[in-house]
Amino acid sequence: MILEQHYTKCLAQGAYYIASAGEAVIIDPLREVQQYIDRAAQDNVTIKYVFLTHFHADFVSGHVDLADKTGATIVLGPNAETSYAFAKAEHREVFKVGDVTFTLLHTPGHTMESSCYLLKDEDGKEKALFTGDTLFIGDVGRPDLAAKSDLSTEDLAGYLYDSLRSEIMPLHDDIIVYPAHGAGSACGKSMSKETFDTLGNQKKTNYALATDLSKEDFIKELTTGIAPPPAYFPKNVWMNKGVNSSIDEIIARGNTPINAASFKALVVDSDYLVLDVRSPQEYTAGSIPGSWFIGLDGQFAPWIGSLIEDIDQKIIFIAPEGREEETVTRLARVGYDNALGFLDGGIDAWIEAGYETQKVKNITAQQFIDGLSDHSISNPIDSRKPGEYNTAHVDGVPLYTLDNIHNEVNSLDTNTTYHVYCGGGYRSVIFASIAAANGIKNVVNVEGGFGAIKKTNLGTQKITETQSCSL
């Protein structure tokens, strides 16, 4: 038997490839499915099933494409309804793959169709549990994503409590738990950076599996302090229930070079969003006026989904040379299928054509602290998340969280200079770029963010720490 976790860091998502005796199964595949087809060909096996643990909200799965290209059967748990053919499994139904078996355990709570898959090896021994968003390492799935009018968030949390105790906690301690997500995903509150663990260790360390935790306390814990889900989540759920454009078509359309003159004509068209996916340093050194920065080398997909409110937005982009197809692919992973081409030759071609650029001023963390101390900086902004801010922040610096920037910019003055920082210098550049696109052009980026600020000579400034942080 071969068991592989295919973990995608920018999505904090785990897909799985399991092969035995000439057959294979893929669990929760990404949208770009050729990688699984190639892997199966390498082992000379046939992909028999595509197992979905549930309808994912944070990415678009490639299950339909994969089934079409391989002849595999899509399997989902009870309560699932789709517009494509699939096998609706019953609770505890067994699926044979080569010499191993998978038993579907219906575990409603995160969503009502949520299911786990219990893998037994060639000798019938329980080896692994693929838990989707039912059980994470250190956490469980949030119960507020299932759009079902007759069930409240509290109802779903109650279902999850029962599922954990009836189907998962009775299993052997040495079973390996393989979840669909890890730290960085918005599908839970405080997931571990680890991507798998033994069930026994989770019983000892995961609050949700504590034997003395009452259902009432579980529901209260699970439903308290949940950040609002990104706006694209419901659309991704809808897409995962239907048949979408092939990733091959999307890449062919989006991976199209556009010369500088044609690109400029689209820049002034309000129907198009100009996205710059290079590094923060490259963006601040010079980019196209009105462009948004969301760099590939960061939490790209989650920020795309959180900040681009229209999932059908037409997008043209500036990418590092050789990473154009990657950009289109990663946009499509979260359902942004309308990438329509990139600037051929990059920003150099734009400059050579004589077109205007905009820059974002950078200062060091020490310059920022010194400016606060001598009052030459009077409008600082912390653009991190509320949990980060509440854990530790520079006294007197207000929070304007990036997640809420489309509302925050309305309170900023176009004639005022602002100095913005985040955790490490990535989100603050996103903040500065979107602010500039909304007419707030005097935003200065603090390089290195709060991480660098903590290492400075604070002088008269103080950092308040209120609690430990697990992020």
**Tens digit of pLDDT per residue, the chain (471 long)?**
999 999 998 888 999 999 999 999 999 999 999 999 999 999 999 999 999 999 999 999 999 999 999 999 999 999 999 999 999 999 999 999 999 999 999 999 999 999 999 999 999 999 999 999 999 999 999 998 865 568 899 999 999 999 999 999 999 999 999 999 987 777 776 778 899 999 999 999 999 999 999 999 999 999 988 878 888 999 999 999 999 999 999 999 999 999 999 999 999 999 999 999 999 999 999 999 999 999 999 989 889 999 999 999 999 999 999 999 999 999 999 999 999 999 999 999 999 999 999 999 999 999 999 999 999 999 999 999 998 999 999 999 999 999 999 999 999 999 999 999 999 999 999 999 999 999 999 999 999 999 999 999 999 999 998 754 333
Alpha-carbon gap, residue 29 to 240, rounded angstroms: 11
Task: Look at residue 150 in the predicted model and tell me its pLDDT.
Answer: 80
Phi and psi at 434, nearest 5°, equal -70, -35
Task: Look at residue 468 in the predicted model and tell me its pLDDT.
Answer: 43
By C-alpha distance, which of 187, 225, 189, 228 is closest to 206?
189
Kindly report, as residue ranges, where domains of CATH 3.60.15.10 are found in the chain. 2-235
Q: Are 144 and 229 in contact (CB under 8 A)?
A: yes
Q: Are 204 and 214 in contact (CB under 8 A)?
A: no
Q: pTM surpassing 0.85?
A: yes
> What single string gives the DSSP state of each residue in 280-339?
HHHHHH-B-TTPEE--SSSSHHHHHHHH---TT-EEEEE--TT-HHHHHHHHHHTT---E
At position 173, the amino acid (one-letter code) is: D
Q: Are 182 and 122 in contact (CB under 8 A)?
A: no
At position 411, the amino acid (one-letter code) is: S
Rg (CA), the chain: 24
Instruction: Please tell me the CATH code under which domain 2-235 is placed.
Output: 3.60.15.10
Phi and psi at 265, nearest 5°, equal -65, -35
Q: Helices 300-307 and 427-437, interaxial angle, to 10°?
A: 30
CATH class of 245-352: alpha beta
Burial of 378 (0-12, 13-18, 19+ CB in 10 A): exposed
Task: Look at residue 226 in the predicted model and tell me its pLDDT.
Answer: 83
Q: Are 420 and 428 in contact (CB under 8 A)?
A: yes
Alpha-carbon gap, residue 276 to 294, rounded angstroms: 6
User: What element of type H or E holds 221?
Assistant: helix 215-223
Alpha-carbon gap, residue 67 to 39, rounded angstroms: 15
* Residues constituting the chain: 471
Reported in sequence order, the residue ranges of 234-286 that DSSP labels E, i.e. its strands, are 257-258, 272-276
Structure tokens at 339: 């990438």
Neighbouring residues of 325: CB distance < 8 A, sequence distance ≥ 6: 251, 255
Our CA angle for 324, 32, 177, nearest 5°, is 125
Our CA angle for 49, 53, 59, nearest 5°, is 100
The architecture in CATH of the region 362-465 reads 3-Layer(aba) Sandwich (3.40)
Q: Are 153 and 228 in contact (CB under 8 A)?
A: no
Structure tokens at 110: 């995160």
By C-alpha distance, which of 158, 161, 156 is closest to 209?
161
Q: Is 417 left (phi over 0), alpha (psi -120 to 50) or beta?
A: beta
By C-alpha distance, which of 282, 281, 287, 297 is closest to 330?
297
Taking CA atoms, 270 is separated from 264, 291, 314, 398, 440, in Å, by: 12, 12, 10, 32, 18
Kindly report, as residue ranges, where domains of CATH 3.40.250.10 are found in the chain. 245-352, 362-465
